[in-house]
Amino acid sequence: MTHNDQATDQNVDSSITVRMVRTQAELYAAQRLRFQMFYEAVGITPPAHIAAEGRDFQTYDLHCDHLIAVHQDLTTGAETVVGNYRLMRDKIADMHDGFKSALEYDLSPLKYYGGNVLELGRACVHPDFRSSGVIQKLWAGIAHYVIRHKVDMMLGTASFPGKDVEGIKNALSYLHQNHSAKAIWTPKALSDNYVDMNIVPEDRLDRKTAMMEMPPLIKGYLRLGGVFAKGAYIDHELASVDTCVLVETSRIKKRYQRHYIPGPQPYTDYRANA
């Protein structure tokens, strides 16, 4: 990265704020970003009702909190949603349709987990704003949310683009052999689209290739101390191979706790009493 690139990143990051969705207009803007990233950017044909609206929306959205990164044009003041995370606490999920991850993973073992669980979903950042600073701000928002709601574990699906398991066999095998969740509460991919992650024998695994195959989001979860459920799942609608990652907040490495929680809460949680 050149000096000019660094300066540009700093300017972009200074124009980004992170907050919870406060209005229907903001929610729709987040859903339009999701539509761009999950369908248009990868050339996937969306379901007819999604295509008609030009936004990625689900029933789950009605019951979740939505954390967004907002870019403000420093000349005009216009705001654009450029990043998104959907947050669903277990007590809210239990009152409605459960976690979205349950469509791909058997989450029933979580009944043996004694803490509060937060599902992270629909994560995306516009490619023009995928600097480390923007992603860090989103994670700072999640960190404060975790503290506020006394979350003990985060879970969610993290995807490999495409459905070519052969092309990611080293990465899947690396995750299985080195970062599998061993506890009794570990979820397992549903049998209809189940993929065994232990493909390459450990003595033949190419770790360098494994890391090259790994999407940035999954690498980020590994840095936080994330572990992975049993098996992967092929999502035919979004043309991806999904893994289920679990991060116990008490196990997040201290250097990342300091990194993501450097100062005051970055937003107002308008659903704090939910």
pTM: predicted TM-score of the whole model, two decimal places: 0.88
Confidence band (pLDDT; 50, 70, 90) for 9? Answer: very low
The tally of domains found in the chain comes to 1
Which pLDDT score is estimated for 266?
Answer: 58
CATH number, domain containing residue 237: 3.40.630.30
Q: What tens digit of pLDDT does each residue of 163-215 get?
A: 999 999 999 999 999 999 999 999 999 999 999 999 999 999 999 999 999 99
Using CA atoms, how far apart are residues 222 and 126, in angstroms rounded to an integer? 22
**Domain of residue 153, residue span:** 3-260
Whether 266 maps to a domain, the answer reads: no
Residue 147 near residue 261, CB atoms below 8 Å: yes
Q: What tens digit of pLDDT does each residue of 107-123 get?
A: 999 999 999 999 999 99
Whether 46 maps to a domain, the answer reads: yes
Tokens 């919870």 appear where? 20
Strand partners, 155: 119, 246
Whether 267 maps to a domain, the answer reads: no
Using CA atoms, how far apart are residues 241 and 95, in angstroms rounded to an integer? 29
Residue 269 near residue 20, CB atoms below 8 Å: yes
Whether 270 maps to a domain, the answer reads: no
Whether 233 maps to a domain, the answer reads: yes
Using CA atoms, how far apart are residues 131 and 182, in angstroms rounded to an integer? 34
Using CA atoms, how far apart are residues 243 and 188, in angstroms rounded to an integer? 10
Q: How many CA atoms lie within 13 A of 157 on its CB side?
A: 25
Whether 201 maps to a domain, the answer reads: yes
Whether 268 maps to a domain, the answer reads: no
Whether 183 maps to a domain, the answer reads: yes
Using CA atoms, how far apart are residues 30 and 122, in angstroms rounded to an integer? 10
